[in-house]
Amino acid sequence: MLDVVKKQLENFHKNQPEFHQAVQEVFEDIHDFYTDHEIYERFAIAERMIEPDRIIQFRVTWVDDSGNVQVNRGWRVQFNNAIGAYKGGLRFHPSVNESILKFLGFEQCFKNALTGMPMGGGKGGSDFDPKGKSDLEVMRFCHAFMEELHRHIGPNIDVPAGDINVGTREIGYMFGHYLKVENQFQGVITGKGPNFGGSCGRTEATGYGCIYFLEEMLNAHDQKLKGKRVIISGAGNVALHAAEKAIAEDAKVLCLSDSKGLLYFKDGLSDKDLKEIKVIKTQNHGALKDFKGTAGEYKSGAEPWDIECDIALPCATQNEVDDKEAKKLVKNGVLAIAEGANMPLTAKAQDIVMKAGVIYGPAKAANAGGVAVSGLERTQNAEMRSWPLQRVDQELREIMKDIHKRSIEHIERNKEGVYNYRKGANITSFKKIADTLVAYGVK
């Protein structure tokens, strides 16, 4: 099976390293499970699961503040809707290309299956760079993006959400434009503002969920989060809320980072300083170097991985931790890693930490809280109700507990007594999607 997958990737998905990386990881983990079930091979499940249902690519034309016409590329990868309407975020970043969106869409299928909710997988975005753009430019771009995307989405077809550089502001612009062109107020996108159908707690969900999952992993290994030293990369939606919840759970957060540098807090980040950082990053769209507090030490161009810690939470972007950084973490005695970002550890880095007996929570489990609360937002939109924050948070905690249970359903502890969550999560998700495809026959 692995040879077939490799050939298909080489022949039909050339020069897409991130997509190859994500697919190979899953199929290596499920290999034995797959070959034990002859029906998967008979139904060509592997070959079918690595081909997206469809990829929509479009031009996005907009006008900048100087009156110049700008052209960007937009995509929506509708990867697999076997177990529910396509669901997955939109990313605006100059690095966005088909390989990255296919890796994210593929991963999303497995993550969504693991939540236990009826959601298929998709991903989209644009190579538009919002950095340095005015608010009006971002608005014009978002409207132009939705001008095309609206044809391809719907509450029972495909329900996008946010991702890197797509937060409440961008979702508001896109949903507003959807409403104008379609004239239908419906839950077609999640991460909306609370005044127009957004769920309480969606903004916090990925970061909080990551901490809830981390706590489940630690409990399963007779450990506690309280008092642990935590390093966090990123200073966006996921990183800031992971930091907030970690502090609330009495952990000591030693740093945050962004694309320009690192902010180090020797004595631990306080709630007050975190509030100031939130204003800088989310309201002013600024950089960590703008932080004025005296507790933090700013290091231009630095990354978190050589800071001694018990817990590492990579929450910025894919492949941010390579073998070199993984070795530093292991040398410094890291106990657990939970991935807030999608695929932040390279394949080599994952091997290194797992071989060293680090408790490793893969993204599809550890950061599934965001999409799970997006699922709850859809439920609230469908029943035209709005749940209080306490209820959403309680549901999120339960969902992360269930994800932990599902992630160990098909595996045993290794000889060091540590669970291989990556393998466990991959098998559980694969089984759900594959058995559904078998149930549908050949389509």
Nearer to ligand NDP, 45 or 364 (CB): 364
Nearer to ligand NDP, 147 or 216 (CB): 216
Write down the least CB distance from residue 352 to ligand NDP, Å: 20
Nearer to ligand NDP, 238 or 251 (CB): 238
Q: Which of 335, 333, 331, 340 is nearest to 313 (CA)?
A: 340
Write down the least CB distance from residue 344 to ligand NDP, Å: 7
Interatomic CA distance for residues 76 and 163, integer angstroms: 13
Q: Quote the DSSP letter at residue 234.
A: -
Nearer to ligand NDP, 46 or 256 (CB): 256
Residue nearest to ligand NDP (CB): 236
Q: Which of 168, 194, 211, 185 is nearest to 388 (CA)?
A: 194
| E strand intervals along 258-375 | 261-264, 297-300, 311-314, 336-338, 359-361
Interatomic CA distance for residues 367 and 373, integer angstroms: 11
Write down the least CB distance from residue 43 to ligand NDP, Å: 30
Q: CB within 8 A of 386, min separation 6: which ones?
A: 194, 197, 199, 200, 380
Helices (H), 59-164: 98-114, 135-149
Instruction: Supply angle C-alpha 161, 16, 427, rounded to 5.
Output: 65
Instruction: Supply angle C-alpha 211, 197, 245, rounded to 5.
Output: 15
Write down the least CB distance from residue 321 to ligand NDP, Å: 11
Q: So which residues are the catalytic ones? A: 123
Interatomic CA distance for residues 280 and 265, integer angstroms: 17
Torsion of CA 116, 121, 127, 133, to 10 degrees: -40
Task: Confirm if 361 and 337 have CB atoms less than 8 A apart.
Answer: yes
Nearer to ligand NDP, 139 or 418 (CB): 139
Write down the least CB distance from residue 413 to ligand NDP, Å: 27
Write down the least CB distance from residue 13 to ligand NDP, Å: 20
Write down the least CB distance from residue 415 to ligand NDP, Å: 32
- Given its phi and psi angles, is residue 277 left (phi above 0), alpha (psi -120 to 50 degrees) or beta? alpha
Nearer to ligand NDP, 364 or 411 (CB): 364
Nearer to ligand NDP, 164 or 220 (CB): 164
Q: Which two tokens stand for residue 148?
A: 């095309």
Residues lying near ligand NDP in the complex (CB under 6 A): 162-165, 206, 234-239, 258-260, 315-317, 340-342, 367, 370
229-233 and 311-314 as β-strands: parallel, antiparallel, unpaired? parallel
